């Protein structure tokens, strides 16, 4: 009882602290960015994980109807990371993305903690490319680095060398594995490697029938009774290495072969596959079905993903993912005739079969996940809620609205409200999305433009909207600072505008270079400023800079002039703020030379439109990679600003990142954050509590300070926000208790601040809620006989820490991934009443 009282007191304190949200709901359209190599749980073929190159590992326990994501403090992943299941639900393996080359990790408590495998020496072997664990023996695993394959028989405590690459240039590529008791098989570009003694020794089998010049690229195996069968896809030996990715499919595969009972003879099963247009990349089998084989890749004839299936071990092949008129595919917003056609997904980024059920097959791609539960006869999208999907056998309708399943994996730059219902989300990859119901559902429900990236919306005093566009994504991230990426002609480097709340758009002005930011002068309705990006190779002659119009109402006839270049700058303008007195405060972001060096061309600058002159107001720490400049809403004189800075690397740009403050319009600056933050993107004040602000970082998550009036504010991590790189924070102007967070790679999330009192009411009248079983094992059920409106459900451990669990339809909590112990289930209702129940696993 004392423990329970302690936990309740602690949780009440957490609710009051800083009034920060205790949980975040995923908002958006679902999907949109690349996802890689899903893995299905052999013990539960409705459960799978899928990795994202933006560092998230997504988890579904209902075959893609909904997703949760692993908190970034626990695990971050690469685009080659896979979740490796074992028959002990507490033990799994993965490859952790630490922002550098990463390292292999292991959990022994069902994913609550992930620990580095100290037996693997990253300094010796380098980055991990693939991991394969033996499901039936959790102590056995294989790791493929660029030049070596290693084996562990003690759960990663130590490793022994399986094989060193025959060629240091190509490296050794682990195309797949098959574990069969003491027999272990590895398909590699150096041949078929096997062990028949539980990994005590390995050798390369001498095989025949694969033509000279071809090597194994993808490999899978199965066993039924006493018979085993392998399948492989071969590729040109000269082109095969560990750098090959799913998008390198063009004419890559050369053949498909099978082998029975490890007899060293490969049988050509390529008949029926047109390798000049059927660009297969990956092979997959259920481990208990030797007859059913799937191949995934790109169909050059249709421009979309390709899935071949054979039910007779490769003697015959049939295409089963039929994109023509979506004949057997239940679609989301992507599909034949849809907002995005099948060329948007383009190809399979791995194909996966449930290890014990050949009827369950799925693949990820450039945008989403597609899944079949009946052997490919029918397919269903697995990225938008089922209520928004469209029937197979018909064109996908355009301009519909959708709700996310939690699979948000692309970048959101800004969220802009026009009124209570109309919201625009600015994204990379998918451009803009629009909601007309307050953010409950989203769609491509507009006309007039289609771009890769919509970076910024500015609203003029008359309500017209203006959008900053580009076909170049990821602006001013570490991979988008050099001329090679930013100086190319950008046909969608333009400003678009709408006079009807974003329903219809027209091009206002085309610059042919990326437009990153827009700012309206609310004291002069004819004036607007734009950040246009371009260097061009010669300092002082750059096309990029700050542009201005003084006849905005002329629409497509408006004229835009480039202002003089601020001192030191090299055409990489970033944020713009127009002050009340008409002066223009700007940040210029980083630029790197072809040699990779940061130039001292960044910082904070002020433009005086009366004298047409610039002042360089930068602190020395801002001269290499400055991000947002933010005006303090507490200062009516607009003399207090915050500059957000990234640290660079490789020279004088190192170690400069953090949050800087000036109280005298840039005459002097103080670095507020010390060495706490390496890279800060932005800071946003809570409009209901102006001493509170939220700070976004590149890899350290979302932070909050409740004493921004202090000489040195203190910052606390918002642990309820699960992603490493929030981009900016926005408060709904129509409901300031709604805090929305955009991100670099995890879409939008919305958290509710507490009521004005910061106190939630406990009420025994809600005791009709039933929570069972208790004790529980893998799932908690919730019954709601009074049909009360449940707004959210959280789970906390005994120390008051929020436990990441999957809550489905406010009826079940999936608890298979949490450790044994005591927990608190907290249910909040729409009228802010709250109940908490002790439960035990």
Distance between CA atoms of residues 204 and 190, nearest Å: 8
- Residue 70 is predicted with a pLDDT of 97
Residue 303 Rama label (left phi>0; alpha psi -120 to 50; beta): left
pLDDT for 580-638, tens place per residue?
Answer: 999 999 999 999 999 999 999 999 999 999 999 999 999 999 999 999 999 999 999 99
Q: pLDDT value at position 1?
A: 33
* 817-831 residue pLDDT tens: 888 888 889 888 765
Residues of the chain with pLDDT under 50: 1-17, 755-766
Q: What are phi and psi of 38, to 5 degrees?
A: -65, 150
User: What residues does each domain of the chain span?
Assistant: 2-10+759-840, 412-752
Strand partners, 554: none
Among 3.30.70, 1.10.3470, 3.40.50, 2.60.40, name the CATH number for the domain at 2-10+759-840. 2.60.40
Q: How high is the pLDDT of residue 804?
A: 82
Beta bridge partners of 114: none
Residues 6+ apart with CB under 8 A from 739: 21, 686, 694, 729, 730, 731, 732, 750, 751, 752, 753
C-beta of residue 99 within 8 angstroms of C-beta of residue 701: no
Residue 332 and residue 30 in contact, taking contact as beta carbons nearer than 8 Å:
yes
Contact 57, 78 (CB under 8 A): no
Residue 243, number of CB atoms within 10 A of its CB: 11
Q: How many CB atoms lie within 10 A of CB 9?
A: 11
What is the chain's Cα-based Rg? Answer: 28
Question: Is 32 within 8 Å of 409 (Cβ atoms)?
Answer: yes
- Same fold for the pair 2-10+759-840 and 412-752: no
Question: How confident is the model at residue 763, as a pLDDT?
Answer: 42
**Residue 819 and residue 805: Cα distance in Å, rounded?**
12
CATH architecture classification, 412-752: 7 Propeller (2.130)
DSSP string, 475-536: TTSTTS-BHHHHSS--TT-EEEEESSTTSB-EEEEE-SS-EEEEEE-TTSTT-EEEEE---T
pLDDT at 150: 99
CA dist., res. 627 & res. 604, Å (int): 9
Give the model's pLDDT for residue 759: 35
d(CA 175, CA 167): 16
- For residues 405, 408, 414 and 416, what is the CA-based torsion angle, rounded to 10 degrees? -10
pLDDT, tens digit, for every residue of 685-723?
Answer: 999 999 999 999 999 999 999 999 999 999 999 999 999
CA distance 695 to 106: 31
The pLDDT of residue 765 is 43
Q: How far apart are CA 18 and CA 69, in angstroms?
A: 25
CA angle centred on 621, ends 567 and 603, rounded to 5°? 30
pLDDT on residue 761: 41
> Phi, psi at residue 124, to the nearest 5°?
-85, -45
Sign of the CA dihedral with 164 first, then 36, 266, and 194 last: positive
């Amino acid at each position: 009882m004392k423990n329970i009282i302690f936990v309740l007191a602690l949780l009440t304190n957490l609710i009051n602290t800083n009034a920060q949200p205790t949980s975040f709901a995923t908002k958006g359209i679902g999907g949109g960015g690349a996802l890689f190599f899903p893995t299905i749980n052999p013990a539960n073929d409705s459960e799978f994980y899928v990795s994202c190159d933006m560092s998230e590992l997504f988890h579904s326990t209902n075959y893609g109807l909904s997703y949760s994501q692993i908190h970034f403090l626990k695990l971050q992943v690469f685009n080659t990371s896979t979740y490796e299941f074992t028959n002990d639900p507490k033990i799994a393996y993965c490859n952790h993305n630490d922002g550098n080359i990463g390292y292999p990790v292991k959990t022994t408590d069902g994913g609550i903690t992930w620990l580095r495998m100290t037996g693997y020496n990253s300094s010796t072997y380098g980055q991990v490319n693939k991991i394969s664990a033996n499901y039936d023996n959790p102590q056995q695993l294989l790791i493929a680095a660029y030049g070596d394959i290693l084996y562990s028989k003690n759960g990663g405590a130590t490793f022994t060398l399986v094989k060193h690459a025959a060629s240091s240039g190509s490296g050794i590529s682990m195309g797949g594995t098959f574990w069969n008791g003491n027999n272990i098989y590895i398909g590699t570009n150096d041949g078929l490697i096997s062990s028949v003694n539980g990994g005590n020794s390995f050798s390369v089998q001498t095989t025949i029938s694969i033509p000279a010049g071809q090597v194994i690229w993808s490999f899978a195996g199965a066993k039924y009774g006493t018979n085993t069968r392998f399948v492989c896809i071969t590729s040109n030996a000269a082109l095969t290495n560990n750098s090959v990715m799913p998008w390198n499919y063009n004419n890559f595969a050369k053949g498909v072969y099978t082998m029975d009972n490890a007899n060293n003879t490969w049988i050509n099963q390529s008949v029926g596959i047109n390798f000049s247009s059927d660009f297969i990349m990956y092979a997959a089998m259920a481990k208990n079905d030797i007859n059913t084989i799937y191949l995934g890749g790109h169909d050059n004839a249709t421009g979309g993903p390709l899935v071949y299936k054979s039910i007779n071990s490769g003697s015959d092949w049939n295409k089963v993912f039929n994109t023509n008129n979506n004949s057997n595919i239940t679609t989301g917003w992507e599909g034949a005739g849809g907002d995005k056609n099948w060329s948007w997904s383009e190809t399979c980024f791995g194909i996966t079969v449930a290890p014990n059920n050949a009827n369950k097959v799925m693949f990820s791609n450039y945008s989403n996940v597609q899944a079949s539960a009946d052997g490919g006869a029918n397919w269903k999208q697995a990225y938008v809620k089922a209520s928004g999907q469209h029937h197979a056998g018909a064109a996908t309708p355009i301009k519909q609205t959708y709700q996310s399943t939690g699979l948000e994996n692309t970048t959101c730059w800004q969220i802009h409200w026009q009124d209570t219902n109309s919201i625009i989300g600015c994204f990379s990859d998918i451009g803009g999305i629009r909601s007309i119901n307050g953010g409950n559902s989203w769609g491509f429900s507009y006309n007039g433009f289609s771009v890769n990236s919509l970076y910024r919306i500015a609203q003029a005093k008359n309500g017209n909207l203006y959008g900053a566009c580009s076909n170049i994504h990821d602006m001013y991230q570490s991979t988008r600072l050099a001329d090679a990426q930013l100086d190319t002609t950008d046909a969608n480097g333009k400003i678009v505008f709408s006079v009807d709340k974003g329903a219809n758009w027209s091009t206002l002005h085309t610059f042919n270079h990326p437009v990153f930011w827009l700012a309206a002068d609310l004291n002069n309705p004819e004036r607007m400023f734009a950040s246009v990006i371009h260097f061009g190779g010669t300092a002082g002659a750059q096309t990029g800079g700050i542009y201005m119009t003084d006849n905005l109402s002329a629409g497509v006839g408006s004229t835009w002039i480039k202002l003089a270049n601020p001192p030191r700058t090299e055409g990489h303008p970033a944020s713009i703020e127009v002050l009340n007195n008409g002066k223009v405060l700007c940040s210029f972001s980083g630029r790197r030379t072809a040699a990779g060096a940061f130039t001292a061309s960044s910082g904070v600058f002020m433009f005086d439109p009366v004298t047409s002159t610039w002042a360089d107001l930068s602190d020395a720490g801002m001269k290499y990679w400055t991000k947002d400049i933010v005006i303090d809403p507490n200062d009516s004189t607009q003399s207090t600003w915050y500059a957000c800075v990234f640290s660079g690397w490789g020279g004088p740009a190192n170690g400069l990142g953090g949050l800087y403050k000036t109280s005298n319009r840039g005459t002097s600056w103080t670095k507020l954050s010390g060495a706490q933050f390496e890279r800060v993107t932005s800071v946003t004040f809570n409009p209901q509590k102006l001493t509170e602000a939220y700070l976004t970082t590149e890899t350290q998550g979302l932070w909050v300070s409740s004493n921004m009036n202090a000489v040195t504010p203190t910052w606390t991590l918002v642990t309820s926000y699960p992603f490493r790189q929030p981009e900016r924070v926005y408060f709904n102007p129509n409901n300031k208790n709604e805090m929305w967070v955009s991100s670099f790679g995890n879409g939008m999330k919305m958290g509710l601040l507490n009521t004005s009192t910061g106190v939630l009411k406990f009420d025994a009248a809600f005791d009709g809620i039933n929570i069972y079983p208790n004790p529980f094992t893998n799932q908690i059920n919730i019954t709601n006989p009074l049909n009360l409106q449940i707004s959210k459900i959280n789970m906390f451990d005994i120390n008051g820490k929020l436990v990441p669990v999957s809550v489905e339809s406010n009826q079940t909590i999936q608890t298979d991934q949490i450790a044994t112990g005591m927990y608190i289930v907290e249910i909040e209702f729409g009228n802010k009443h709250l109940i908490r129940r002790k439960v035990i696993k």
